[in-house]
Structure 1
Amino acid sequence: PPPHTTAPPATAVATMDGFLTELMVYQGMSAEEARCVAKVYNATTVSTLSQLASLFTLHDAYFSSIPGPTEPNRMFALSGTSYGSASNDWVRLVEGFPQRSLFDDVLDANKSYGVFSGDFPSALFLNSVRRHPSRIHDHSTFFSQLAAGDLPDFAWIEPRFFNVAGYPEQDMHPHFDAVLSGTVSPGLHFLHTLYTAYAASPVVNDTLFIVFFDEHGGFYDHVVPPSNNIPNPDGRFSSDPTFSFDRLRPPVPFV
């Protein structure tokens, strides 16, 4: 695969056999270090997510929108397009993206929404969200509204992605120790806290709880992502890197 921070060459063929090459050649890891890319978690290790998957609906053919980095995939998740962006271009992110999003659809339907985040939500890269700062909240507000049965019609929840002022991150990026045994426990703990509170709340029988991810993080997967008849969502193209938005990225969990 291409480096985690870039999109693939336009002519790249997804053979799913370049994971070790990426880490050893492009990232400079040793063979021992690079072995981590092909390791897996058993159901016990990730029990929170595996139990939700076994008890409820698991979509096992949900692919990330582009074989590129984080923010374009998050824009796709929120709006169905990255508006021609195929990289974490901080100039464009700061300027903001102008396209319609899920949040616009919610408001057009005379419904309410809230964005709940542990630090800086990616939803704020959308200009339409920036126009409604009163709808941006922290996690404590989410849990208090949840307990009171007073959530907005659509709640978008993002974990804390950074360790800030002693508050640790809550994402599922593996944290590697000296023996290269990665752990995704911070993200699992956050998911467990979310679902436990949700299951005990007054809204549990009236809401849909969805868990999904922006992209797979570059770890090994044998499933070749689709690259035929993938429609470009809005006719836009990326020039740096060159990308036509006509292929997908490896699958991610969707529960």
Structure 2
Amino acid sequence: MDKILDQIEHVVVVMLENRSLDTLLGWLYAQGERPNVVLPAGSPATFDGLRPDMWNPSDPGFYNGGPTAQVFVKQSASQPTVPDPDPQETFDNVTYQIFGPGPVSPLTPNTMKGFVINYATTSTQDASQVLEGYSTAQLPVLAALARSYAVSDAWFASVPTQTWPNRAFAHAGTSNGNVNNGDAIPDPFDWDVPTIFNVLESQGDSWSVYTDTTLVPSLTRAMFPKLWDPWLDSHFEGFGAFVDACEKDRLPRYSFIEPSFLTEPNDMHPPHDTRAGDAFLYSIWKAISTSPGWAKTLLIITFDEHGGCFDHVLPPFNAMTPDQASSPGKEGFRFDRFGIRVPTVIVSPYIAAGTVFRSPTDTPYDHTSILATLRDWLGIPASAMLPSARIAKAPTLDAILTLSDARTDLPNIAAPLGHYDRPALTAPPNDLQKSLVAASARRFGLDPKAAVASMDTRQHIVDFFKRRLSHAAS
């Protein structure tokens, strides 16, 4: 196998939460404005973002020929926390957001029109929030990196559903047939498959998972029992260790960064303050761009799934079913269509400023493209690689680094302000936060259902993990 990305020694991936491409970067380029570079050559010359004439109906009768009642997209977000409350993101809800009550088919009329109607089942206030797109001024770090390096307008979540299945595809190339986090709560033993970290360990390639919290354990580790072995403890570190590794040019070959999902959350999960997530990206960018290893580091910024937020592009139907467990998996789904577009930005001094990229093949980019890139970059043989057919079909990122020499310029990105809205600890936890409790309870021999049943507030989850830390220290 010919290796790719010869100029790269370190790949860093940060995966944030639950935002669509249109929501965060839909207004990145003005209507009709052309990026400097589009890849592959000959693909559409403009960025496929939002237009002011895009809308959703607000009345379910629309699907039966009733009144249209158009709700149009907005060119900035009214608050840094919208949409608030959190939209629905399970498989059935996402299916409605895409197809309404119609059949699941690329020929179904009025696709991508069900977001407002679906959100109205959750929001008792203003369902139009789900159509609000953030302006570049509201997310200056993400927008600057997207325009200074490369952004995809055709990167899709791996599954049209919520967090655990999509993160599983990013780490394992499969969700093992699961289409939601869990029937009630997730059981990690339903996700007991090898991960890319197990592959790297077996090949002797260095790796670390960095988590921006000292209280909550790594979500990646909690999800997969094959990462629970104590001898892997040294691979899971806090975000400060990532900054230190950048300063000393000691990054591992592969780094995966997790935001804070619970205390002072900066994961961008609605309705968490997006400014906190943008500031977290600044911290990552600053650590990498000031590192002695900057020129040999590739940074990938992406999101696990759209989280119920509006996007106007119908996901493709040509996804490769990854394995036998997915043929079919839960709810009869064969994993043969992709999820909704998510923001994905690639940063390297070997990337031309103003690049917009799409897949060079008939298969679009999804999270398994990260795994395919790692495979070819590190020269992992097929016998040692994860067996997912989705990974085997996925396009890699080698074509995006188009410059023969590293750029010496850096974009002038100001440090964001440090004041953000913090959810009250008396607020109810979201599904992801509950899943962390369930997975951790399962890992440590506790009853997951009983543990989650007592988690009525975020403070209860904080107390749960404080007890776990106290128990581990005793």
TM-score in terms of structure 1 length: 0.86
Q: Which residue matches 2:150?
A: 57
Q: Which residue matches 2:104?
A: 12
C-alpha distance in 1 between matches for 2:296 and 2:190: 34
Of 83-92 and 207-216, deviating more is: 83-92
Of 112-121 and 35-44, deviating more is: 112-121
Task: Pick one of 122, 131, 150 that aligns with 1:27.
Answer: 122
C-alpha distance in 2 between matches for 1:16 and 1:138: 39
Q: Which residue matches 1:196?
A: 286
Of 232-241 and 214-223, deviating more is: 232-241
Of 239-248 and 89-98, deviating more is: 89-98
1:43 is the counterpart of 2:136: yes
Q: Is the 8 A contact 2:206 2:252 kept in 1?
A: yes
C-alpha distance in 1 between matches for 2:112 and 2:286: 37
Are residues 246 and 144 of structure 1, via their aligned partners in 2, closer, same or farther at CA, if it must alter by over 3 Å?
Answer: same
Q: Is the 8 A contact 2:288 2:297 kept in 1?
A: no
Q: Is the 8 A contact 1:145 1:151 kept in 2?
A: yes
Q: Is the 8 A contact 1:148 1:202 kept in 2?
A: yes
**1:159-192 C-alpha deviation (Å, 9 max, x unpaired):** 00112xxxx011112437xxxxxx4111101001
C-alpha distance in 1 between matches for 2:203 and 2:154: 29
Q: Which residue matches 2:224?
A: 126
The one-letter code of the counterpart of 1:61 is: A
C-alpha distance in 1 between matches for 2:271 and 2:88: 19
**1:70-103 C-alpha deviation (Å, 9 max, x unpaired):** 1110000111110111111176543362322221
**Equivalenced residues, count:** 241
Give 5+ residue unaligned stretches, structure 1: 177-182
Q: Which residue matches 1:154?
A: 254
SS in 2 for 1:210: strand
The one-letter code of the counterpart of 2:153 is: D
Are residues 187 and 53 of structure 1, via their aligned partners in 2, closer, same or farther at CA, if it must alter by over 3 Å?
Answer: same
Shift of 1:13: 4.3
Matches within 5 A, 1:77-96: 77-89=170-182, 92-95=186-189
Are residues 202 and 93 of structure 1, via their aligned partners in 2, closer, same or farther at CA, if it must alter by over 3 Å?
Answer: farther
Q: Which runs of 4+ in 1 moved over 4 A?
A: none
Matches within 5 A, 1:165-176: 168-175=264-271
C-alpha distance in 2 between matches for 1:34 and 1:156: 34
C-alpha distance in 2 between matches for 1:200 and 1:41: 28
**1:5-40 C-alpha deviation (Å, 9 max, x unpaired):** 33448953471010011011x31534xx11110011
Q: Is the 8 A contact 2:88 2:307 kept in 1?
A: no
C-alpha distance in 2 between matches for 1:235 and 1:94: 19
C-alpha distance in 2 between matches for 1:150 and 1:230: 37
The one-letter code of the counterpart of 1:4 is: E
**1:53-84 C-alpha deviation (Å, 9 max, x unpaired):** 11112122110011111111000011111011
C-alpha distance in 1 between matches for 2:316 and 2:309: 17
C-alpha distance in 1 between matches for 2:204 and 2:188: 29
Q: Is the 8 A contact 1:87 1:241 kept in 2?
A: no
The one-letter code of the counterpart of 1:144 is: D
Q: Is the 8 A contact 2:188 2:225 kept in 1?
A: no
Q: Which residue matches 2:337?
A: 247
Give 5+ residue unaligned stretches, structure 2: 1-86, 346-474
C-alpha distance in 1 between matches for 2:167 and 2:149: 24
Q: Is the 8 A contact 2:119 2:127 kept in 1?
A: yes
The one-letter code of the counterpart of 1:128 is: K
Shift of 1:236: 2.0
Are residues 3 and 239 of structure 1, via their aligned partners in 2, closer, same or farther at CA, if it must alter by over 3 Å?
Answer: farther
The one-letter code of the counterpart of 2:112 is: M
Shift of 1:107: 2.2
Q: Which residue matches 2:382?
A: none
The one-letter code of the counterpart of 1:29 is: T
C-alpha distance in 1 between matches for 2:137 and 2:127: 24
C-alpha distance in 2 between matches for 1:115 and 1:220: 30
1:142 is the counterpart of 2:242: yes
C-alpha distance in 2 between matches for 1:96 and 1:103: 18
SS in 2 for 1:115: strand
TM-score in terms of structure 2 length: 0.48
Are residues 28 and 184 of structure 1, via their aligned partners in 2, closer, same or farther at CA, if it must alter by over 3 Å?
Answer: closer
**1:184-225 C-alpha deviation (Å, 9 max, x unpaired):** 111101001110111111211111111111011111111000
